[in-house]
Chain A
Amino acid sequence: MKEKNSAEQLQQGGSFFRLMMIYLIVCSIGFTVMMICVNKLMKEHDKTLTTQICDLVAEKMNNSISYMTSSAENMAAMLTAQELKDFDNVYGQTRFLKGEAYISMGFVDMQKRIYASDSELEEFEKWDLLEISKQADPVSISPPYRSGLTGQPVFTLFANITYGGNKKGKLFMTYPLKEIQNIAYTETLADETEIWLMNAESDNLIQCAGKDKYAVGSWANAGLTFEKNINESDRDDYLDWKQKMSDGEDGAALVYKSGQTGYTQVFADIPSMHGWKLVVRIPSSAMSSAMMKFRTIVIVFTTLLLLATFIMFVMSHKRDEADKEILENLSIHDPLTEVMNRRAFDMAAQTQLAHIGRDDGVMIFIDIDYFKTVNDKYGHDAGDKVLKEFAALLKDVFGENSLIARYGGDEFLVFQKGADRAEAEEKMVELNRRAHDIRPANCPEDDHYHVSCSCGGAVCPENSRDFEELKSLADSALYDVKERGRDGHGWYAKGSGK
């Protein structure tokens, strides 16, 4: 029985372990799926948000360029309203004026005479600025070039101006490139946002804003800056994006990875700067840094929760096992003698009889003779001790493989599966003999009282295969033994019993 219990426990333990493994795997798969979903959502979120931010930054940059072109237009309109005869006087008055933003201001008259400093005249010739001035409709912007006055990259705005009746001239204003950044600057994501002017045809870039303020004004090449560093899988997307730029589209967005860093990049048209586009780039991580923290918290929390649940399950299982063992012991065993109780014996014996097949089996009813005397004479504690010692003797005599139960106060029932009459008889003789060795506690030396017992047996299948009947026949046999004077054993025979 004990072996069977152990095997069952092992089996139960194994199934619990498997259950826990399944639980862990299911949780882990669920966790993995959740993280994949979170990562995907974060990427989608980053992509959408960074594209929107890039668009906004591009719009803001374009607005800042428009602000400058408007300034030039307004200045030209104001001077046109003054009905200037020529630019001599006005240039003389304005050449030393320093605006808050622009470096210098001058004019080009209808005869292409340029009203500018010597240094600027050189720059007009060097960079063919007259050609740019012709593109003013009503404003045009030159590509960036290095100013002799400041040593920094600048660009020149041209606006149409009317003078001398109906003569058409140009007003020009030269701004440092940094001014675009100053106007468009925003603290939000300032360190993450990179802004360039890009020439779609030549692949030339000039940086307007970026993480490093000193990089502003640097020339670069789109092929070396973007294309060479883009991961192979995203290169075609980049080429499509560039093609849209070359095709003259107003704007397009691109998402790509450069090494481990993901970027969102948009371009926007600059209406008054022919051939040039505004390019804004933000690393996708700029958006996800907050989400990354959240994701880390989710990972840690979920892992701890999983671990805590696992530990709780294991602890709960262990406690259940212990409780179950106690309950099982209580439900199967007689708490005093630790042999089976009546209900457990009945179930076990019936099960064994149902599967006994051709085997023999013996049912033995055993009664401690005059047990009431022991209680009366030596006390209940002594009686309990006698019962315990007698139960232990039964186990010793009939062995662990027999079913042994305390069936009533001093009545015991034994079922020996596989035993025949002869074997059982030997055991009963031994029991009768060894029972005499049991003496109640507190029994004085000169008191020669000793325990004895009576045993009545019935044989399966000879007498019956039915448990109740077999039990009843064994009881009858016991009755006969008692009738014969107790302290002995006997077998059921037809006509015996009460």
Chain B
Amino acid sequence: MKRLVAAVLCLNITAGLTGCQQPQKKPAVEPAPPFKAVGDTVSGRKDIYLIVKNLGSSYWQVIIDGAEDAAEEFGCNMYYSGSNAESDWRSQERLLDEAVEAGADAVLLAPNDAVELAPKIDEVHDAGVKVVLIDTTANTENYDICYMTDNLMAGQLAAKEMLKQLKNSGNSLADPLKVGIQVGAQTSLSINERLAGFLQYWTRNAPVDWVIVPDIKCNDGDYEKAVTCAAELFDEEPDIKGVFGTNNGSGKGFAKEIKKRGLNDVVLVSFDYSQEVAELIQSDEYTASTILQRQYHMVHTGVETALSLTAGKHFNEKFVDTGVVVVNRNNMQTAEIQEILSHS
């Protein structure tokens, strides 16, 4: 009898109350290190603080190198730091506070989260510090200028390149064909815009039977996960003919798995430059392309503009598209690409 009563009471509680959701644990990320000076610092010069998305990435190393060159060229003190994962926007939030406290004249920021960091960017700009965004914009108007790739357009170019390479690979326009996608993060404005641009172009221009696999993989900025996602996609869709990686890590993950499986009938289109993708581009066996951003140009011009802003100059435009270059086997050895690659 007592058990029955207990059961009925439990039933009551279950019926009466809604369940609770357990908070999900996030993997720990190494916090951002303190700012470090790039080159020599000289008293009396303007202090520019650079905050990058991921200190461990070769892409962001090009940005740091570009900042160093620009600091030397334009004569300013340059300090840099950044988070260790592109999902870690909180570290960047803290670094922004530290830059303001340290008396920054201008901040060059590549925001990890366009939405979450927007209030902090407002705060920094309102404090009188010049804010130059590089690589990624933020969902606020309280910054001075943004040098970045127009990612929506870059995504369209990626789709255009994918279509071109698929056709060049001999795929019939009349036959069904599948293309898979892997993204590096769901909260990254750049990645979301590239994806949107890619899909926008694809739906307008791809043959009707050439479809995108609906299950878009997300690796959360983790290279190991990117390889796993690529493997999953190839297992789930064995007849896939094209893959698009919206960022460096996603492209690397695809490239590694394509090479491992010997998938020479799969076209890869990626973003940015990595050894894994470069090997596929250079190989006669595989078909791969990558969209190169001009990150060196972004930061170089960004530093110059930051100094002009601190000197009181005003710019009419708030958004400058630094453009992209599509790199494939045909143009990889050209002087223009080699010049860009020398900074990659």
Which residues of A are in contact with B by a Cβ distance under 8 Å?
18, 21, 24-25, 28-29, 31-32, 35-36, 39, 119, 126, 143, 145-152, 199, 201-206, 212, 214-221, 223-225, 227-228, 259-260, 295, 299
Contacts and interface: CB of A to CB of B under 8 A. Distances in A.
Contacts, number: 128
B196 A146 contact: no
A477 to B, nearest CB: 56
Contacts of A220: 186, 192, 196
A145 B152 contact: yes
Contacts of A260: 18-21
Contact of A259 (B21, B183, B320): B21
Contacts of A204: 196, 199-200
Contact of B119 (A148, A214, A221): A214
Given A149-B316, A202-B203, A35 B196 contact: no
Contacts of B316: 119, 149
B122 to A, nearest CB: 9
B152 A219 contact: yes
Dominant SS among interface residues on chain B = mixed
Given A199-B200, A204-B200, A221-B195, A147 B1 contact: no
Interface stretch (B5-13, B45-53, B223-231, B290-298): B5-13
A259 B178 CA distance: 30
B167 to A, nearest CB: 20
Nearest to B150: A146
B318 A151 contact: yes
A21 B202 CA distance: 68
Given A119-B317, A146-B150, A146-B152, A152 B141 contact: yes
A145 B204 CA distance: 16
A227 B214 contact: yes
B218 A224 contact: yes
A315 B291 CA distance: 82
A468 B114 CA distance: 106
Interface string B202-220: 1110000000001110100
B216 A199 contact: no
A202 B114 contact: no
- What 3 pairs across the A-B complex have the smallest Cβ distances? A151-B318, A151-B319, A214-B118
Contacts of A227: 214
B321 interface: yes
A36 B204 CA distance: 49
Contacts of B140: 214
A145 B214 CA distance: 24
A148 B318 contact: yes
A39 B202 CA distance: 45
26 contacts: A21-B1, A21-B4, A24-B8, A25-B4, A25-B5, A32-B11, A35-B15, A126-B150, A146-B150, A146-B319, A148-B318, A151-B143, A151-B318, A152-B318, A202-B200, A202-B203, A205-B196, A214-B115, A218-B139, A220-B196, A224-B186, A227-B214, A228-B215, A259-B21, A260-B21, A295-B16
A212 to B, nearest CB: 6
Contacts of B4: 21, 25
A32 B153 contact: no
B216 A32 contact: no
Contact of A146 (B137, B145, B199): B137
